[in-house]
Amino acid sequence: MKSRSMLAGLVLVVMIGGAAKAFASAPPVLFDPPMSKRNANYAIEVSLDAAARSLKGRERIVWRNITAAAASDAWFHLYLNAFANNRSDFFEESGGRLRGDTADRKHWGFCQVTSLALVNPDGTKVPLKQLFPGSDRTVMRVELPSQVPPGGQITLDVSFEDQLPKVFARAGYAGNFVMASQWFPKLGVFQGDKGWNCHAYHANSEFFSDFGVYDVSVTVPRNYVVGSTGVEWGSEEISGANKTVHLHAEDVHDFAWTASPDFIEADGTWEGVKIRILMQPGNKDSIPRYMAAIKEALGLFAKWIWKYPYQQITIVDPPANGMGAAGMEYPTLITAGASPFMPKSLLMPEMVVVHEFGHQYWYGMEANNEFEEAWLDEGINSYYETRIMDAWFGPDNSIMNGLCGLHMGDVAMQRIQYFSFPDMDPVVLPAWKYSSNAAYSVMSYSKPVMVLKTLENILGTQKMDEVMRAFFMKVKFTHPTTDDFVKIVSEAAGKDLAPILNPLLRGTGTVDFKVATVRNIPLEPPSGFDLAKEKPTLFSKDTKPKKGGDDKGYRAEVIVQRKGDIVLPVEISVTFSDKTTKLETWNGEERYVTLKYPKKVTEVIVDPNGKIPLDLNRLNNGWQAKEDGAPASTLALRFSSFFETLYALGSGLF
């Protein structure tokens, strides 16, 4: 008896009919049983005209309604129309600049649907009319002849033509390099009574779609090397100057491919997972760096979250004139970025590979709505980027490891970026509603890293790993929300984390603890000293001790203030003149706490172990008695914070 997955594959081949070429054999069975609901399945054949940089394709979509409400229409993303002119939402918001590159306005791109029909069970076709809700044509709607009931399904035939733009924002061409991403008409996500979630392509937004099976045949010039989502199956078909490559992927929600005659191929494996690197010739010396990074990421994600379930991961290195396509993620395929001039002490190639691979979990398998809650992918993934880079190179060297004698950790870099816009917008916000592109970046990437790092420090690393693993395992191959995250991690932690997480994720409050006053008061003032006239100051001077420095002749009062709006528990280290230290814990609920001691205080440090990276101003976290000098640990803290602040102010100018 054939497996359920094999039967599904055979049924899909039959349903493709004339929509794609007949393959030499049935698609491979990758997952039995399926890992996802597979309600949006695509069979696509596409051919590349390398000279014109255009694509011509047709697809058959089998969509099943997995909600409790009937669907009367269908909505499609036509992402490439973002590059059709300067009137698209994407261009108006980006100004034609994104990801460090600028649009070539002489080489626009588009996706044009040339035919669209509903396929009846008997094979007859009903043409459907294309409707565009607004002037932005990255979204297309079609009305269906009859409703699709809960559990029902439809089959759609679509023919389309793409003109690839000069790549500057993920998709397009650069010379003879092609990055075909967001290249085919793709259904949005039907959310029952809420209708279709199918937003226009905005400058800051990424993607959201349902899981399915993809069978894709790509025709390119014979000398081109093809890389893609999924795996190759069957043999390449050679026809004159062209070849056709057959590709297959299961339990993915998107499909991307790349092609170039210049790629140098390098292969490796990690515990049964095939690693395929497609490298630019000039960057071939960075192949070992890519290979080491992907193996490190595969290993630590398997340890902390879940073993990578797919058979292959492909890493693509774009050319220097196509870096707008670098640093992106697609199911089982990522793009990185290297340079022959990149020193080994600057760990950007490693960091990019680690980061983009992490998206296989938080974008690829978690599959949240990146239009509306980008942090659930970008922020969580950036947190794991810091975890992996720190574990690999050490927390002080995980970005710069001795470059010109300088050292910097990944968390420190994220903290510097967070300084730029700590309170402009909440983290949870639709991507196009942030006050600026920079605010989107900080709130979707850097601030969530600070939030999750703080949560890790509160819970402990072991409990944090349990919590995050519980979240992933609960939501994989679904579409989780921020509410799901807060609920699941609270259950896994064994305590309600909403009072901590909701203000940090949904509000604009900040964290700032400060040593407000320290008073060392002599119990027996020396002659001529009027205790009643003693007034505390911001960093009050100690009264002169009696000769002999008798510590027992003092009482001390320390006031620590919560200047920010966010309530978090915090540690306070208090050192006395007898060289003993006491570590206090304050819940941070009131605006200030007063600590009293029967002896003289020489040093106070709030958050001495840096457990709250959200704290905006660490310059006000410490105090020392003047006659005792400034202890080295506190000086280091202050100088580090001072230079972080300068860096953040400077970075905001560019």
Which tens digits make up the pLDDT trace of 412-439? 999 999 998 899 999 999 999 999 999 9
One domain, residues 29 and 146: yes
| Predicted local confidence at residue 203, as pLDDT | 94
What pLDDT digit, counting tens, does each position of 283-312 carry? 999 999 999 999 999 999 999 999 999 999
Overall average pLDDT of the 44-62 stretch: 98
pLDDT at residue 5 tops 70: no
One domain, residues 118 and 200: yes
pLDDT at residue 449 tops 70: yes
| Predicted local confidence at residue 27, as pLDDT | 82
What pLDDT digit, counting tens, does each position of 219-258 carry? 999 999 999 999 999 889 999 999 999 999 999 999 999 9
Q: Which of 205, 234, 261 is the last residue of a domain?
A: 261
| Predicted local confidence at residue 527, as pLDDT | 56
What pLDDT digit, counting tens, does each position of 491-508 carry? 999 999 999 999 999 999
pLDDT at residue 632 tops 70: no
Kindly state the helix (H) or strand (E) to which residue 301 belongs, with its residue range: helix 287-304
- Residues 219, 46: contact at Cβ < 8 Å? yes
pLDDT at residue 145 tops 50: yes
> Is the residue at 394 inside a domain?
yes
> Is the residue at 345 inside a domain?
no
Rounded Cα distance, 280 and 318, in Å: 7
> Is the residue at 314 inside a domain?
no
> Is the residue at 331 inside a domain?
no
One domain, residues 463 and 518: no
pLDDT at residue 526 tops 60: no
C-alpha distance across the termini of the chain, in Å = 63
| Predicted local confidence at residue 101, as pLDDT | 85
One domain, residues 83 and 227: yes
CA-based nearest residue to 254, from 328, 318, 350, 161: 328
pLDDT at residue 519 tops 70: yes
| Predicted local confidence at residue 548, as pLDDT | 42
Rounded Cα distance, 273 and 307, in Å: 10
Q: Which of 506, 523, 557 is the last residue of a domain?
A: 506
| Predicted local confidence at residue 25, as pLDDT | 65
Domain of residue 400, CATH code: 1.10.390.10
One domain, residues 490 and 521: no
* Residues facing residue 529 across a β-bridge: none
pLDDT at residue 92 tops 70: yes
One domain, residues 485 and 525: no
pLDDT at residue 635 tops 70: no
Domain of residue 204, CATH code: 2.60.40.1730
CA-based nearest residue to 367, from 334, 332, 331: 331
Largest CA distance in the chain: 108
One domain, residues 496 and 524: no
One domain, residues 117 and 133: yes
Overall average pLDDT of the 443-461 stretch: 98
| Predicted local confidence at residue 217, as pLDDT | 98
| Predicted local confidence at residue 528, as pLDDT | 55
pLDDT at residue 162 tops 70: yes
> Is the residue at 238 inside a domain?
yes
What is residue 205's three-state secondary structure?
coil
Tell me the angle at which helices 287-304 and 375-393 cross, rounded to the nearest 10 degrees: 110
Overall average pLDDT of the 484-490 stretch: 98
Structural domain tally of the chain?
A: 3
Q: Which of 472, 506, 540 is the last residue of a domain?
A: 506
What is residue 518's three-state secondary structure?
strand
> Is the residue at 10 inside a domain?
yes
> Is the residue at 526 inside a domain?
yes
Q: Using CB atoms within 10 A of its CB, is residue 371 exposed (0-12), middle (13-18) or buried (19+)?
A: buried
> Is the residue at 568 inside a domain?
yes
Domain of residue 192 covers 4-261
Question: Number of helices (H) and strands (E), helices first, in the chain?
Answer: 12, 34
pLDDT interval class at 133 (50, 70, 90): confident
| Predicted local confidence at residue 629, as pLDDT | 45
One domain, residues 560 and 500: no
Outline where 494-545 has alpha helix (H).
Answer: 498-506
Q: Regarding beta strands 333-335 and 312-316, do their DSSP bridges make them parallel or antiparallel, or are they unpaired?
A: parallel
One domain, residues 500 and 573: no
Mean pLDDT of the chain: 90
One domain, residues 502 and 519: no
| Predicted local confidence at residue 611, as pLDDT | 96
One domain, residues 499 and 520: no
What pLDDT digit, counting tens, does each position of 8-38 carry? 443 344 344 444 444 456 788 899 999 999 9
For the ranges 20-29, 180-189, 471-480, the lowest mean pLDDT is seen at: 20-29
Look up the pTM and report it.
0.90
